[in-house]
Amino acid sequence: MSVLTVNLKHLYQRRGLWLFYVIVVLFAFAAIAVLFEDTKAGQGRFIGLIVLAFVVGLLLAVLPLEVMSKPFSYCLPGHRKVPRRFIFWVGVLVNLFGSLLFLTYPDLHSGQLFLVVCSAFFAGMIFFWLGVGFAFILRNPGAWIGFLPLVILGGCFFGLHRVLERAIVGIPFGVILVGILSSIVAWLWLGDEGRARRYCAVPWIGFFDAWNRDKLQRYRRVRAPIKWDKLKQHPSPWVETFFLGRMNRHDYVSTGRYIWGGLYTMFGIALSQWKATCSSVFLVALAIVCFLGYMGPWTINILFVMPGLMIAQMRLPVYSSMLISGGRKERYRCAMTLVITTALLITVLLTIIAVLSVLLATIMPDITLRGNTFIFQPMNIKLFFVPLLMIPIVFTVQLIFYRKPMSMVLLIMLVFVISFVTSMFLYEHLSSGINPMFIIGGLVLCWGTFLLVSRYVCMRRCLVGQGRTY
C-alpha cells in the first residue's frame, strides 16, 4: 500500500468529514435543481458546482496540513510529496463532475460544447486552487467557512455569477489558459521541499476542532501564551469576596458550597471583566442586528437560535477525569443551577437586544442598491422563549453524547438546521400563531427531558475517565 493510498483513507475514516459530505451533496443537489427552474443562457445558473470547488479545496487541504503537523509524518519516506498528489487528483475528480453541468448548456453545437466543458473544468480548478491557497495561508481555515454564505449572497447581488458564466462560455480559451497556468503554479508551489519542515510540530486547528475544548486550549497555550501579569487582576477582589463569602456560609461537603463554586468557576472571570464584556457584547450584537435587520424578517430572528450553538462548548461540572469533592447529588444540582442561570441570562440579554432592534427600526434608513430597497426589520419579541427551548436541548445532547463528540456535533447542527428552516418558512405562522399553551408545552417538554436525562446521567452513569477525543 502506497503512502498516497493511506492518505486517501482519511476521506472516509475521518468522521468529521461525513457531515461535510452531506453539506456538499445538498449544495450539489441545489445547484442542479436550479437548472430545472430555468436553463436560459447567461443567467449564472450553471456555475453552482464550479464555485463549490472553492469550499472543497479549502477544507480538503486541511487534511494534509493536519498530517504534516505531526512530527512522526515527517519521518515517513516519501510523505512530503504526498500532499501535492493528494490535493491534485481529488481536485481533478471533483471538477470533472462539476463541469458536466455545462453539457446541458443551450444553443451550442458539439464542438463549442466540448470547449465550454473544458473551460468550466479549468474554471473549477481555479476556484479549487484558491481554496487550497487560503487553507495554507490561514491559521484556522475551517472557521472562515461561516463567511462563505455572505460572500455568495454578495456575489449574487452584484451579478458576479452571471459574469463568471459568460466568461466560461464567451472566452473559453482565456479561462483554459488561466486554469492551466494556475494548476502549474500550484503544483510547483505545493512541491516545495521546505513546506513539510515549516508545518512540522506546528499546532493546528482541523475539522470541528473548535468543538474540542481540550485541543483548543492546548492550541491557545502554544499560540497565545498566557500573560500572567494581566491575570493577576482577575478575578477582581469584589468578585472573589462575593463568591467566597457565599461558599463559606455552607459546610465543606454541602451542596450549596459546590453550587456556588460552580457559579464562581463559570462566571467569575466574566464578572471581573464586566465592563469590557458588556461593551464588546453590545458592539458585536449591534453590528449583527444592523446587518441581519436588512436581510429579511426571518433572518434577524436567527439570533434567538444562535445561543444554542454558542453554549455547546460549555462543560457542565458532571463528568470529570480528576478526583473532586462533589458527589452525584452535588453534580446534579450544580448542573441544574448553571443551566437555569445561563438560560435566564441569555434570554434576558436577547430580549434587551430585541427591544433595541425595535427602537432602531424607527431611525434606521431604507437602503437602495441596484434598484432594490432594503428595509430594516426588527427582531420579533414574541420569540423571546426560543433560547429557553434551545438551551436545555443542547445540554441534553451534550450529556448523552459526552464520550462521542462527533455525534454531539451532528445532532446540534441538525437542531440548528431544523430551527433555521422552521424560522425561514414558517416565520409568519409562528409569529402570529404562538399562544401561551404552546410556549408552556414546549418549555415543559424541553426542560422535563433535560431534568430526566441529567438526573439519570448524574445518578447512574460513570462520571469519570477521559472519554473519547477527536
Q: What is the grid cell recorded at 368?
A: 437602495
Per-residue pLDDT for 181 more than 90? Answer: yes
DSSP 254: S
Q: Which residues contact 365 (CB under 8 A, 6 or more apart)?
A: 376
Residue 110, number of CB atoms within 10 A of its CB? 7
The C-alpha atoms of residue 335 and residue 330 are separated, in whole angstroms, by: 8
What's the pLDDT tens digit per position in 91-130?
A: 898 888 888 888 877 777 777 888 888 998 999 899 899 8
Q: What is the grid cell recorded at 233?
A: 487582576
Q: What is the grid cell recorded at 90?
A: 481529488
What's the pLDDT tens digit per position in 246-294?
A: 888 888 778 888 888 888 888 887 788 777 777 777 788 888 888 778 7
- CA quadruple 75, 78, 81, 85: dihedral, nearest 10: -130
Ramachandran angles phi, psi of 369, nearest 5°? -135, 125
**Confidence (pLDDT) at 142:** 60
Ramachandran angles phi, psi of 341, nearest 5°? -65, -45
Q: Which residues contact 89 (CB under 8 A, 6 or more apart)?
A: none
Q: How far apart are the first and last CA of the chain?
A: 25
**Confidence (pLDDT) at 449:** 92
**Confidence (pLDDT) at 420:** 60
Output the pTM of the full model: 0.65
- Strand partners for 374: 367
The identity of residue 122, as a single letter, is: F
The C-alpha atoms of residue 46 and residue 56 are separated, in whole angstroms, by: 18
Domain range annotation of the chain? 3-213, 273-460
pLDDT band of residue 468 (cuts 50, 70, 90) is: very low
Check: CB of residue 144 under 8 Å from CB of residue 57: no
Q: What is the grid cell recorded at 236?
A: 477582581
Q: What is the grid cell recorded at 16?
A: 468529521
Please state which of the ranges 56-70, 255-269, 296-310 shows the lowest mean pLDDT: 296-310
The identity of residue 57, as a single letter, is: G
